[in-house]
Chain A
Amino acid sequence: MGGALRALGLSKTYGKVPVLNSLDFDIPAGCVFGLIGPNGAGKTTTIKIMMNILQPTSGSVEMFGVDSRRLGPGDLTQIGYVSENQEMPGWMTVKYLMNYLKPFYPGWDDARAAELVRHFELPLDRELKNFSRGMWMKAALASALAYRPRLLVLDEPFTGLDPLVREDLVNSLAASAGETTIFVSSHDLGELETFATHVGYLHAGRLSFSEEMASLSGRFRQIEVTLATAPGASAEAGWPGEWVRREASGNVVRFVESKFEQERTSNEIRRVFGEAPQVSIQQMPLRAIFLTLARHSGKAA
């Protein structure tokens, strides 16, 4: 698979405030890339630069080989964009919106548009301004998927939606994955985990990592070690740097291993705590990994 999205040294400052700091990523075509990070990390700025809504201060981002600053109408016929902040012409009905957008997109698929409208249970003759937030987001997504875009860019699409609507959206996105590369920023890690194939963690304008979801899930473990006696205050000095969110309570030590490999991690535990301690190793959901990273990054900062 060729690269769908590639950022090279992407930086953005507002006045003197840096928001993105030399961001690099390379996202393969056909994947679902989830961009996560705390508020103010620069997720929306990254997406707005990708969509040529904002100009980078330096560096560049390419969409299917086209510099975002040179995105023209021809390129936009193959890109869908849905954002929680995006304005929509509230006076239009869903039917009018779909009919209005159709001539803009050579790849518009009437059957798919009808199917999306049916699937999302969108009332055709009601004006968008009378829609609930969930219905509004569904209409936006339907209007972005009806032309089978090669790339779909979603900025916080699940914010403020009830679980049923979220599931509807996730199912639709999951169904489109593969033929469409999806780039999604979200705080809703539970939803993201169900369909993202890749994930990147953005913190203070820097991408801490960008990797496949399976790899990420594989390398983070919550580990609990029960010792015979409580560890001394100076014991932490010899602990590996990959062990983060370390805490001790009596003779129980808990930490998150951020580079888990069964054999290497077991050896390290033996080296630090000695033989035959009681060790519990648990997989972590994306949400727990995110919290770990966010708090660890905060402390490090």
Chain B
Amino acid sequence: MISQALHILRKDARYLRGEIVLVLALVALLAYTAAPAAELLALLAMNYLIARVIHAEAIPGYNQFWITRPYRWQSLFGSKILFVLLFMDLPLLAAQIYAIVAHDFSLSSSLPGLLWSQTLYITCLFLPVICLASLTSGLIPFLVTEFIVVAEIFIAVGVVYGHFSWAQFLPGAKPGPAAVDWVRDFFVMAIVVESAAAVLYSQYRTRNSAKGRKTAVLGVAAAAAIFLLLPWPVMMSVQAAISRESFQTSSLKVDLASVKYGAFPGMGPRRGPAPPERICLPLRLNGVPANREAAVDSLSVTLEARDGRSWSSGVTAPIAVESGETIVDASLPVDPAFLMIERAHPLTARARIYLTLFGDPQSATIPIQAGPPVDAINGLQCWAGLLNQLSCRSLFRWPGKRVYARTREGVESFVRTFSYSPFPATLGFNPVETHSFSSGLASKEVTITTKAPLSHFSFEAVLDGVVLDDYTAAAKMRAMQAAPPY
């Protein structure tokens, strides 16, 4: 079986030697430049090469040369997988090792990221493309189908990130914390990979392309359903289930801070019709342990009137308030009809708060310069950027932690966007991820501190006697005139 697989592999390598050289050249270019254009070109060339090698022994159809020859399906499939490993995965691995060495990262500590990124390439990138190629008989149907699939992915991503108002009713279209996106992506990719594996097994074992196509369509539909319909609370629950620490929520208390802390996003001067009036409830969190830092990932608020009427916000992204306390602003686009009737009456507000507690701090003070990056902690390398802003880079992904930078002058800033994902790498050809901090550097030394997310959980806070009129933009104006907030 292996000798037959190698025999077919040698044939394919000879047949596609020109295309192989092209892919290798593009991967070398990618390793050398790390340019997004090289990444895109390498990706396109690999797609093309996969289609060509699979179509050399196309599965659908009745007239292919090989189907009446004594090919073992395991050998044929094995040869194609070997081809992808040899001429696509291995060059990418070499390019990543080159990037690690060129950026002075440690090779041994990069091993988990290296292995995981190779796993991601094979399962999440190459396997679906191999699957698609196995369902098509030629390059044109392959490209047309791939274009349709890619267009659907773009539309789905647009829906999830709120670019399409017509899809706002979908649970997945509700805004949630980007830090838990990985949960949704994990489920989606698990379905895609399982479907692709099932299709490939069926295609190579039985050549029943009608069944294979049905399986593929079902897989894509299931993945799309998860992507569009998986509600954020479920993703938060999954995140909570894999928390490093449990936390007793009974010690936490929530009350309403002054309306002065209301952020009122989008309320400045603007053209066009005025947006619906917003209510901002500044929620102050009390009872967070001293050695922990709380970050509200998302929340939902339900307003209940005495007569049983209610309005619910759904899951919404909170706005962190810089106040020295843990205050988040729940900015609520309350239904105008509900607001008009209930604005002056005391209501009950039920807030479901999704919270992450950070702790286990680690720090390193490093000299900072415009020259070569300096090793900090958790695999970070930092340097002063062109505008004297602090920039740091890490291999394969940004650490799944809050990363703070504090200068001697006390200026502190942190990188807001990161993922709680437990995996050591993301799906990308460029293994180096770089972020810049929001504040400029005032000194030649900086202390980099990381805090790990230890507990993820949600709890419900009940606030009685909330009068919406006290939390409008006009109320904030009145409060500001009476006394500044800070």
Contact = CB atoms under 8 A, between A and B. Distances in A.
B7 interface: yes
Interface in B32-85: 56, 62-65, 67-72
B63 A86 contact: yes
B63 A87 contact: yes
B80 to A, nearest CB: 15
Interface string B8-28: 000100010000000000000
Contacts of A100: 7, 11
B3 interface: yes
Nearest to A54: B62
Contact of B65 (A73, A75, A87): A87
A89 B72 CA distance: 18
Interface in A43-102: 48, 51, 53-54, 73-77, 79, 81, 83, 85-89, 91, 100-101
Contact of B71 (A73, A79, A85, A91): A73
Interface of A: 48, 51, 53-54, 73-77, 79, 81, 83, 85-89, 91, 100-101, 103-105
B209 to A, nearest CB: 12
B4 interface: yes
Contacts of B15: 89, 91
A51 B64 CA distance: 12
A51 B271 CA distance: 72
Contacts of B71: 73, 104
Interface string B175-200: 00000000000000000000000000
Interface in B301-350: none
Contacts of B3: 103
A73 B63 contact: no
Contact of B68 (A54, A79, A89, A103): A79
B11 A81 contact: no
A81 B64 CA distance: 11
Contacts of A91: 15
Contacts of B67: 51, 53
Interface of B: 3-4, 7, 11, 15, 56, 62-65, 67-72
A88 B64 CA distance: 7
Contacts of B64: 87
B371 to A, nearest CB: 53
A73 B72 contact: yes
Contact of A88 (B4, B65, B70): B65
Contact of B56 (A77, A83, A85, A89): A89
A14 to B, nearest CB: 12
Nearest to A53: B62
Given A89-B56, A103-B4, A76 B63 contact: no
Given A86-B63, A88-B65, A103-B4, 7 more contacts: A48-B62, A51-B68, A53-B68, A73-B71, A86-B65, A104-B4, A104-B70
B10 to A, nearest CB: 9
Contacts of B70: 73-77, 104-105
A81 B11 CA distance: 21
Contacts of B11: 100
A104 B69 contact: yes
A116 B72 CA distance: 27
Among A83, A85, A86, residue most surrounded by chain B Cβ atoms (within 10 Å): A86
A69 to B, nearest CB: 10
Contacts of A85: 62-63
Nearest to A91: B15
Contacts of A103: 3-4, 7
A75 B65 CA distance: 17
Contacts of A74: 70
A282 to B, nearest CB: 42
Nearest to A84: B63
Contact of A76 (B62, B65, B68): B68
A56 to B, nearest CB: 14
A83 B69 CA distance: 13
29 contacts: A48-B62, A51-B67, A51-B68, A53-B62, A54-B62, A73-B70, A73-B71, A73-B72, A75-B70, A76-B68, A76-B70, A77-B70, A83-B63, A85-B63, A86-B63, A86-B65, A86-B68, A87-B63, A87-B64, A87-B65, A89-B15, A89-B56, A89-B65, A101-B69, A103-B7, A104-B4, A104-B69, A104-B71, A105-B70
Contacts of A51: 67-68
Contacts of A76: 68-70
